[in-house]
Chains A and B, each alone.
Chain A
Amino acid sequence: MLDQSDSYLTEDGRRIGAVVMEMKNITLRFGGVVAIKDISFDIREGEIRAIIGPNGAGKSSMLNVISGFYVPQDGEVLFHGKKRPPMRPYEVARQGIARTFQNIALFDGMSVLDNVMTGRLNYMKTNLFQQALWKGWAEKEETENREVVEKIIDFLEIQAIRKTPVARLPYGLKKRVELARALAAEPKLLLLDEPMAGMNVEEKEDMSRFILDVNDEFGTTIALIEHDMGVVMDLSDRVVVMDYGKKIGDGTPDEVRNNQDVIDAYLGVSHD
């Protein structure tokens, strides 16, 4: 079990627990290009952890390392205190790490409901034979999983579009469906890759509210990448700042805001 001795309460009364995910000296190279240079940081249970940085800083690469899409050349990934061997993305997903993508990756041919149901695939244990007979196990299982999914659909306020094929939805709603699918897996760690990219102010406010609610209601640990500094500072408990593949800051939003390196990275440094 996790060591809960160093847990603490936030100002708004949420309890932040022990370290769930720890990245140790991660280095990721593509040929000669170093995308991530010797970065270490951790994610605690129940917190909202943001990764920020200018374009090309290596934020998405970092998220892809956590979710198994990239395998780093150096460094260790510790999940629940145990070193994680190199894994394929679907194996990582089965461990309870769900994610969304920067450029929405939904199943276009399926309805919203079916899309969200795919998030439950790993909770369905009946085999083909049992499903062929349908009645009994398989039906019970389908109903149980459906209940979870309906709850999430209600929670994210997408009841009205449950039966709509996702290809027809506008951008903002697609993002929300993707979040719903990730939530359906009841993840121990939820990774959001730019959940608010390309949204207008109103959509951003909605999405921020949902992220906070998810964290508050389900106690889901969330790591997110975001460009919008205002949003990040309001949402997150702790922030990692990356620039050119290196970590230049790590701490609470206030600490990060006053960090000279971070200010330089975002505003530029004068060379006179």
Chain B
Amino acid sequence: MSDQLIFAMEVTLNGLMAGVLYALVALGFVLIYKASGIFNYAQGVMALFAAMTLVGIMNGQVPFSHLINALFGGHTTHFGWTVPSLVAILMTIAVMVVLAWLVQVLVMKHLVGQEPIILFMATIGLAYFLEGVADLMWGSEIKTLDVGLPQGINLWIDETTLGIFGYGFFIDNLDIVATVIAALLVTGLVLFSQYTKQGRAMRAVADDHQAALSVGISLNFIWVLVWSVAGFVALVAGIMWGTKSGVQFSLSLIALKALPVLMLGGFTSIPGAIVGGLIIGVGEKLFEFLIGPMVGGATENWFAYVLALIFLVFRPQGLFGEKIIERV
């Protein structure tokens, strides 16, 4: 087998893994969009916020310590304990649920029935507000996140491929874990929305608010639920990306990478988010590998967006999006 082909295989595998991480972020968008028709610009910042909260809790940081110290004097920044990662994750989930409730009660509740563009603007405001709050709560320095996920080269794959091709593939253990977790998460979410009472209520609310009310569904409850689930997905994405590249502001920008994924997969489809993520992940890696050298590289920065543009022209509803058919 030619070297070129073997390299391409390795690149494809790595692309798939990266795609899973894109898909994770895209999922958060799809969930909220499906259930409330809101395009949640703050999803990326929610991932950042969740990751920062997790690190903060694990390190025993005092929230708002700078603010408290500035107002009342004193120099306490840490409680002086550390929290085991599992406990810290559970506590972070609780924080995300509270956040979901606050978003609903303070913002979204007052915007029921408004134009989608207004709701979208509200989430932009939310994104910047949340970013500020996260910095104020936990400080803006770059933090490392280690919840005990395996990292580094997977030796088994390295050795096996070395035996077969005479060349060892470099696959990061973290990427494998991320893939497994994402698969579990997606399966769970699909089962939840298709087969549980709350899932059915969620789909009902997404379709028609008035009709949902008339069968006894509380919109408030469902929206808090949806934002909580989106917060949970943000936490998972935050953990994966945070472990990979540190918890820092740029984490919130992964949301931008989710946009082309959504355009490919369709804004309303959970499987679409997955497939879209994989296509973008593999596509950009392969493109960089094959075409990159001819055009001077750095194609990963724009490949996804150009692909998304092409899709917008030829199939605006995405691969799996609901086709818009109007009865006349």
Contact residues of A with B, CB < 8 Å?
A: 67, 69, 88-91, 93-94, 98-99, 101, 105-110, 114, 117-119, 121-122, 124, 126, 128, 131-132, 134, 167, 181-182, 185
Contact = CB atoms under 8 A, between A and B. Distances in A.
B214 A131 contact: no
B215 A121 contact: yes
6 contacts: A93-B213, A98-B214, A99-B214, A109-B203, A121-B217, A122-B216
A90 B216 contact: yes
Contacts of A106: 207-208, 211
A109 B206 contact: yes
B325 interface: yes
Contacts of A132: 196
A104 B117 CA distance: 26
Interface in B207-243: 207-208, 210-219
A98 B215 contact: yes
Nearest to B225: A128
Interface in B100-129: none
B54 to A, nearest CB: 23
B197 interface: yes
Given A109-B322, A121-B197, A93 B214 contact: yes
Identify the 6 closest CB pairs spanning chains A and B, nearest first.
A93-B216, A105-B211, A107-B207, A89-B213, A124-B197, A94-B216
Given A89-B210, A114-B200, A181-B211, 7 more contacts: A93-B214, A107-B203, A121-B204, A121-B217, A122-B215, A124-B197, A134-B195
Interface in B176-214: 195-198, 200-201, 203-204, 206-208, 210-214
Nearest to A106: B211
Nearest to B201: A121
Given A90-B218, A93-B215, A121 B200 contact: yes
A135 to B, nearest CB: 12
Contacts of B325: 167
A118 B208 CA distance: 12
Nearest to A107: B207
Which among B206, B212, B215 has the highest number of chain A CB atoms within 10 Å?
Answer: B215
A108 B216 CA distance: 18
Nearest to B196: A131
Contacts of B217: 90, 118, 121
B213 A90 contact: yes
Nearest to A169: B327
Nearest to A100: B214
B117 to A, nearest CB: 22
Contacts of A124: 197
Contacts of A101: 210-211, 214
B196 to A, nearest CB: 5
Nearest to B216: A93
A88 to B, nearest CB: 8
Which among B197, B206, B210 has the highest number of chain A CB atoms within 10 Å?
Answer: B197
Given A121-B197, A128-B196, A131-B195, A110 B214 contact: no
A167 B325 CA distance: 9
Contacts of B201: 118, 121
Given A109-B322, A131-B197, A185 B207 contact: no
B214 A105 contact: yes
A182 B216 CA distance: 11
Contact of A117 (B200, B207, B214, B218): B200
Nearest to A170: B327
Nearest to A124: B197
A64 B219 CA distance: 18
A122 B155 CA distance: 53
A122 B325 CA distance: 32
A131 B194 CA distance: 12
A124 B218 CA distance: 15
Contacts of B197: 121, 124, 126, 131
Contact of B213 (A69, A107, A108, A110): A69
Nearest to B205: A107
A109 B166 CA distance: 52
A118 B219 contact: no
A261 B322 CA distance: 52
A94 B214 CA distance: 9
A252 B217 CA distance: 36
